[in-house]
Structure 1
Amino acid sequence: MKYTITLMALVFSFGVASAQNYLDLARLNVGNTTLEDVDGQNETDVSNLNFEFLYPTPVNDKTILITGLTVENTNLNLRSDIGSEGLTMTRLNLGAKVYHSRKWTGTYLILPKLASNFNDVGSNDFQFGAIALLEYRHKNRFRTKYGLYSSSEEFGAIITPLLGVYYRTPNNKFYIDAAFPIRMEANYSITKKFSLGADLRTSIKSYNVGGDLDGYVQEESIRFGFYAGYSLLKDQLILRAKAGLDTTDYGLYRTGDTVGAQILTFQVEGDDRNRLNTEFASAVFLGFDVIYRLDL
């Protein structure tokens, strides 16, 4: 596997899993890159769109219900002898945030999803995940978080431990919000409206591919970028232009060819699958984000 020595890739990308002083109610990420396989036989434009929506509902002073939707679409050529594939993931985010004490807060979610090219939708298109994340508040500006994510995928079950931190400086100009190894964001405010920063987004997930291919795609993604941001509407609407490195690989395998349990990117019983396309090399990507955010 391309990232067997990399601890920065995994399967989950969801804003609720961060301990922070803000809440992103809606987030749109758009990116584009051109990937070439390592043999130089296939070059493909890759467009990626990710939209997340969150709706929190307070139940009492200790519990907030969480409902949300995540939709992601990627278009690319998996192999030079086949046409473009549209890979779509639609996921419900259902659960609750519970204030256990003054110091400890827990976020618990179930994550059912459909992920495929949506040709002949069936049971192989459905996967199920769950996450549990505990947050410990050391001070108002400093928190740590500990958790676990698991999901059933076409290649097997995946288990991911989570470890993170949130910190904001006393002057509020700089913050870092990280939930390793899934995501990280560091932001520095140059002026009240203009900021510079860097972010990391990673994922490991699978898409059922129906039709003639009769297989699935295993996506292993690390996207690291730098951005310039501008805020509007009293800092509630944030626009960002971004450029960085995209190391995403899209492995094509036959249905039923699995690896069993996987912890991060490491297969417990090894990987003897027969890959049906060639590994993709890294490339520069360009993108932009639109975020609707509320300060807490």
Structure 2
Amino acid sequence: MSERTILLTGVNGQVGFELARTLQGLGRVVAVDRSRLDLGDLDQVRRVVREVKPALIVNPAAYTAVDKAESDVEAAMRANGEAPGVLAEEAKRLGAALVHYSTDYVFDGTKESAYVEDDAVNPQNIYGKSKLAGEQAIAASGCDHLIFRTSWVYGARGKNFLLTMLRLGAERDELSVVADQIGAPTWSVTIAALTANVLAQAVAGDDGWWAQKSGVYHLTAGGSTSWHGFAQAIFALSASEKKPEVKPIPASAYPTPAKRPANSRMSNRKLLDTFGLQAPDWQEALRLSLADR
């Protein structure tokens, strides 16, 4: 039997970097960065998939500059909306499956409780609209797929809230952080580990596994907090001796080009019921991530 080939995009990103490690053992991983596969170049996307001929495509690559997307609409929609559709079309043509990552920003944040997968989507910014377009293009293709919606992603690489707080905390005695937006800070390692666990089940499953499991799943850390609470926890758990004072402010005091949802909480119940997997609480994951530093 020939070895299963897995095409992994965005290998230098927060989640892609971790996936390159957790996917080991599930097949031959062909990991590509933006220089090899740029989601902004749809012809290149199609060409690379046809060259690699994967049995599985895992796509954590994305246009992630949320505020910049408000003025860079075409690029955001191409990378997050059109490119996933191309990957899905090519997967369908090959008889391959696609794993893709989406966001809490597909919701408007007005629900009082945690969002479930079937709740109405209503993105409030271009980034959210582009990610929703990607979800819809994948579903329309008819390919076997898993779409994991996650939130507030952080890790040891790239640009994220954790690294920003650690940098600013070393420079300043006082920080003002938004306290009226709620979500689940989710470690990139958690996302990669749970993805690999799901795909291990796919490898061990029967021929009907993908047909039964295809769809959208929420995948975030357990529990929830505000950005202010997240910042407080970062400094409480950090080994740094310098601990800045973290003051709560409303989102209205920190205007950004892109509107953020007030409630980004998403229920992981479907993930647990379908795959038997449960993400760690956000505080435990944060403790582990800081222990790695």
| TM-score, normalised with respect to structure 2 | 0.30
Larger helix proportion of the pair = 2
